Amino acid sequence: TQLLEQSPQFLSIQEGENLTVYCNSSSVFSSLQWYRQEPGEGPVLLVTVVTGGEVKKLKRLTFQFGDARKDSSLHITAAQPGDTGLYLCAGGRGGADGLTFGKGTHLIIQP
Amino acid sequence: DSGVTQTPKHLITATGQRVTLRCSPRSGDLSVYWYQQSLDQGLQFLIQYYNGEERAKGNILERFSAQQFPDLHSELNLSSLELGDSALYFCASSVVAEPTDTQYFGPGTRLTVL
């Protein structure tokens, strides 16, 4: 059972366009993290959100945690080829546990 | 560079064999996590150690085991290998063990079982 569903699975758009990727669950998480992974490398943390309704901005990236702490979104404004990669959301629960990852969104930004 | 090191980078072996993957966490990090990444399952949490003690278990097979040593490096042992064990294995570390802690991932070990 995949606890975190990411959509879309694949997305290919032109440079300069905006996009949103989604991370949904029926479970509540104490935190939600977004990672970016490039081929042959480990995931790199972009942001952690912990409060329901929280919005964080990282340059052209905007992350939002749902009010019920079950879902999250990542919005990229004016996408650039350097944004290309695999975007992973991961949920953390209270107490000792590893992260639960979604399967990721493969994003390609074409020049 | 996350500061987490993993060796070897690539490993090719045959079914039925046993291998050991090694991870050195970032300096000062007490918690080590192991993950398996495959094309069909994505990133799956295997096991976590904190300051030498097992802290949490995820989807780890009985053929797999891990330990964390006094110097905080960790090893993941995979035995009786099957074709389906071919995957990327990542180690991550964090300062403590809270779910909101940032986990820093190593570059991974790519295991190919032939």
Token code pair at residue B114 = 């032939």
Q: Which residues of A touch B43 (CB under 8 A)?
A: 43, 88, 90, 99, 101
Choose the most confident range, by mean pLDDT, from A3-7, A90-94, B38-42, B68-72. B68-72
User: From B40, which residue of chain A is nearest by alpha-carbon distance?
Assistant: A103
A90 touches chain B (CB under 8 A): yes
CA nearest neighbour of B74 among B110, B101, B40, B50: B50
Count Cα neighbours of A76 within 13 Å in the Cβ-side half-sphere: 25
Name which of B100, B99, B93, B85 is nearest B41 in CA terms: B85
Sequence-separated (6 or more) residues with CB below 8 Å from residue B35: A98, A101, B43, B44, B45, B46, B89, B90, B91, B92, B105
Cα–Cα distances in angstroms (integers) from residue B30 to residues A21, A48, A105, B38, in the given order: 33, 20, 31, 27
Contact map slice: A 54-83 vs B, CB within 8 A: none
Residue of B nearest to A97 (CA): B56
Mean pLDDT of B71-78: 97
Residue B93: predicted pLDDT: 93
CB atoms within 10 A of CB A46: 17
Mean pLDDT of the region A71-82: 96
| Dihedral (CA of B56, B60, B63, B68) sign | negative
Please tell me the predicted confidence (pLDDT) of residue A58.
Answer: 94
| Mean of pLDDT values over A11-20 | 97
B99 or B52, which is more confident: B52
State how far the Cα of A24 lies from the Cα of A44, in Å rounded to an integer. 20
- pLDDT for res A30: 86
Task: For residue A97, give the nearest of B24, B55, B113, B64 by alpha carbon.
Answer: B55
